Each structure stands twice: as C-alpha cells, then as structure tokens.
Amino acid sequence: MEIDTVIDQGAEFFLAGDVFDLDVMASRAFCVEVGDNQLEGFFVRAENGDLFAYKNSCPHTGAPLNWTPDQFLTSSGRYIQCSIHGAMFKLESGECFAGPCSGKFLQAMKVVEREGQAFVGAESL
Ligand code: FES
C-alpha cells in the first residue's frame, strides 16, 4: 500500500493521521508503517493550537507512555505524563521536569499539518 506523503521545505513527510478534531491540550496516538519500519508516536495540541509529535517511548525505560490508547496527558491536559512511574513532560518541548528521567527529553518528530491531516518527518522512521 502506498503511503501519502507531502514535501515541505524540501523534506518528505508521511501521513500519520487525522487531527482536525484534536482539541487543545489533548493527545492522540498514531502508527506509521513504511516498508519494514514502524513508528509509534502521538500528537499533542498545545494551548495555542500548535501541534507536536513525539515517539511513544519514555526516556526512563523506553516503555510506552500512554494510560489508555489516546491518553498521554495529565488530567488537566497541561503536561504529558508517563503511565509507568509518573514522569511529567512539557507539551511544547518534551522536556521531563519531574520524575525519574528529569532533564531528559522525549524524541520529537517534525510534523506538518495540512487540511486536518498530520504528516511526520521521514527522518523519524
Ligand atoms: S518508564 Fe516512564 S517514568 Fe519510568
């Protein structure tokens, strides 16, 4: 199956999912498969509407972060929180500021939003 792609500033991006209905301070998981490579990640939409994408891997142990399939955030929606040991991360940078991996970062992906669809950078795969 062919994956939808876009080119932005000379770089290739792969379609990862719809985000037209992703509210601010909400999260959504995605999975992109290209050839033998599979990338599991999630989107978060910040309070100002900006969209961010991170790999679903906690810098503490590499475990998936989410509580339930699309739930990666604290109950307030203000921070990303790992479901295993509770580390907390800033939405806009992925920096851990509380918990066992304090000072480390989630692996950010470049993301492009076009007409309600989100595409992640090919270099992430
Ligand atoms: S695995 Fe995420 S805080 Fe320990």
Question: What are the tens digits of pLDDT across the range 63-85?
Answer: 999 989 999 999 999 999 999 99
Q: Confidence class of residue 86 from pLDDT cuts 50, 70 and 90? A: very high
Q: Confidence class of residue 30 from pLDDT cuts 50, 70 and 90? A: very high
Q: Please give the distance, rounded to the nearest whole angstrom, from the Cα atom of residue 88 to the centre of ligand 1.
A: 9
Residue type at 83 in one-letter notation: S
Q: Reduced to 3 states, what is the DSSP secondary structure of residue 38?
A: strand
Which domains are present in the chain?
Answer: 5-124 (2.102.10.10)
85-94 — which CB contacts under 8 Å span 24+ positions? Answer: 85/60, 87/58, 87/59, 87/60, 91/25, 91/44, 91/46, 91/47, 91/52, 92/46, 92/50, 92/52, 94/52, 94/54
> pTM here?
0.94
Distance separating alpha carbons of residues 34 and 22, to the nearest angstrom? 24
Q: Are 25 and 51 in contact (CB under 8 A)?
A: no
Q: Confidence class of residue 1 from pLDDT cuts 50, 70 and 90? A: low
> Where does ligand 1 bind, in terms of residues with CB under 6 Å?
58, 60-61, 63, 82, 84-85, 87, 99-101
Q: Which residue has the tokens 């989107």?
A: 43
Q: Please give the distance, rounded to the nearest whole angstrom, from the Cα atom of residue 65 to the centre of ligand 1.
A: 7
Q: Please give the distance, rounded to the nearest whole angstrom, from the Cα atom of residue 64 to the centre of ligand 1.
A: 9
Question: What are the tens digits of pLDDT across the range 13-27?
Answer: 999 999 999 999 999
Q: What is the pLDDT of residue 2?
A: 60
